Amino acid sequence: MACFLHLLELGADKNKIELWHNEVDGREGSELMDWPCTADYCRKFAQAFGVPIYYSWKEGGSEREMLRDNTSTAPIKFETPEGRIESAGGKRDSPGTRLKFPQVSPDLSARFCSPYLKIDVAASAIRNQKRFDGIKTLFVTGERGEESTARAGYAINERDRADNREGRKKRHVQHWRPIRDWKREKIWDIIERHKVRVHPAYYLGFGRVSCACCIFGSKNQFATIHKINPSQTERVMNYEEKFGVTIKRDKSIRQLISEGTPYNMDDETIKSALSKEYTLPIFMDKWILPAGAYGEQCGSMYKQKQLHRN
């Protein structure tokens, strides 16, 4: 979101911008990992700003990839501007076995959710659409160095993995991470300037919004998800017990939930987060800093920000 708003403030032509969202659960019925509202929230955000949005996903999502047992990885699906859903890959890959969740690790081969459900999906969608051949495309993503040591080392500007500018198709794709060095305060400042209502999970108290059952989730976050959507966490816990391998390695999600404290939430925000249809306005007349903006404890940075606003 901050990347998109930054482009607007730089004066980028909105007619040349399109938004992409990779659906981690796919569209084949799995509801294991993500927030139910996320896909439609993204759609309503794009509509509010008058820009197109396209979706891509690994067939069967995270759940199918996680359950691979001497089988090949699934094909990638992606939407096109003409309204079609195209497919790529999943035919010549060697059989493999996972039977465990992505592991908390900087190694992307262990934390396979990032490459298999997001990075590779987006790259494949670019490679397999002729509309990207023979032109220059800027691929913009919002990794920030403050989030991890690994992300702090990412290049701000580099060739994207879908680039093939010297090849026959002359597909020129540059990857830009304009907010790599931004601090959280700068992120919330630009969102406030545009009066955007963010994803409901931030208002529930989450300081980081990825999957609802993100492998990096804290004990309080898992306790919160378990309180508002227990069927989702029960499925995660059952898989951990079935695999005999936990997400966190040293503790099971069941243990984390028992140790955590759910956030203080209101019913309307819970309903919005768990609905597949997002109905709240994207813009707020009176912008409110979400409870989770500066982390789950809402510490000194949050208090200083509130004092400044007051």
Q: How many residues does the chain have?
A: 310
Question: What is the residue type of 269?
Answer: T
Would strands 157-159 and 76-79 be described as parallel, antiparallel, or unpaired?
Answer: unpaired
Phi, psi for 117 (deg, rounded to 5): -110, -10
Residue 304 domain-assigned (yes or no): no
CA 265 to centroid of chain Cα atoms:
22
Residues 55 and 79 in one domain: yes
Residues 90 and 134 in one domain: yes
pLDDT in tens, the chain (310 residues): 999 999 999 999 999 999 999 999 999 999 999 999 999 999 999 999 999 999 999 999 999 999 999 999 999 999 999 999 999 998 777 899 999 999 988 888 889 999 999 999 999 999 999 999 999 999 999 999 999 898 999 999 999 999 999 999 999 999 999 999 999 999 999 999 999 999 999 999 999 898 999 999 999 999 999 999 999 999 999 999 999 999 998 999 999 999 999 999 999 999 999 999 999 999 999 999 999 999 763 333 333 344 344 3
- Structure-block tokens of residue 267: 């019913």
Residue 299 domain-assigned (yes or no): no
CA atoms within 13 A on the CB side of 10: 11
Residues 180 and 208 in one domain: no
Q: Which residues 6+ apart lie within 8 Å of 91 measured at CB?
A: 72, 75
- From 184, 218, 245, the end of a domain falls on 184
Residues 286 and 150 in one domain: no
Cα–Cα distance, 53 to 47 (Å, whole number): 8
Q: What's residue 140's pLDDT? A: 98
Q: What's residue 307's pLDDT? A: 37
Q: What's residue 295's pLDDT? A: 79
Kindly report the number of other CB atoms within 10 A of residue 70's CB atom: 8
Q: What's residue 303's pLDDT? A: 37
Residues 176 and 251 in one domain: no
- Structure-block tokens of residue 251: 């503790």
Residue 47 domain-assigned (yes or no): yes
Residue 288 domain-assigned (yes or no): yes
Give the SS3 label for residue 95.
coil
Residue 97 domain-assigned (yes or no): yes
Q: pTM, whole model, 2 decimals?
A: 0.92
Q: C-alpha distances in angstroms, 67 versus 70, 78, 148, 240, 283? A: 10, 22, 28, 12, 40
Residues 212 and 120 in one domain: no
Cα–Cα distance, 218 to 100 (Å, whole number): 19
Residues 155 and 242 in one domain: no
For the chain, the domain total comes to 2
Q: Which residues 6+ apart lie within 8 Å of 118 measured at CB?
A: 22, 24
Residues 151 and 200 in one domain: no
Residues 201 and 130 in one domain: no
Give the residue numbers spanning the domain of 161: 2-184
Residue 50 domain-assigned (yes or no): yes
Please list the residues that pair with 174 across neighbouring strands: 138, 159
Residues 88 and 131 in one domain: yes
Alpha helices (H) along the chain: 2-9, 38-49, 61-66, 113-114, 120-127, 149-152, 184-193, 200-204, 219-228, 230-243, 253-259, 267-274, 300-309
- Structure-block tokens of residue 107: 């190694």
Question: What is the residue type of 203?
Answer: Y
DSSP result, 125-183: HHHT-GGGTTSEEEEE----GGG-HHHHTS-SEEE-TT-BTTSTT-BEEEEE-TTTT--
Please list the residues that pair with 176 across neighbouring strands: 140, 157
Residue 191 domain-assigned (yes or no): no
Residues 26 and 158 in one domain: yes
Residues 177 and 217 in one domain: no
Q: What's residue 109's pLDDT? A: 83
Residue 103 domain-assigned (yes or no): yes
Q: What's residue 296's pLDDT? A: 61
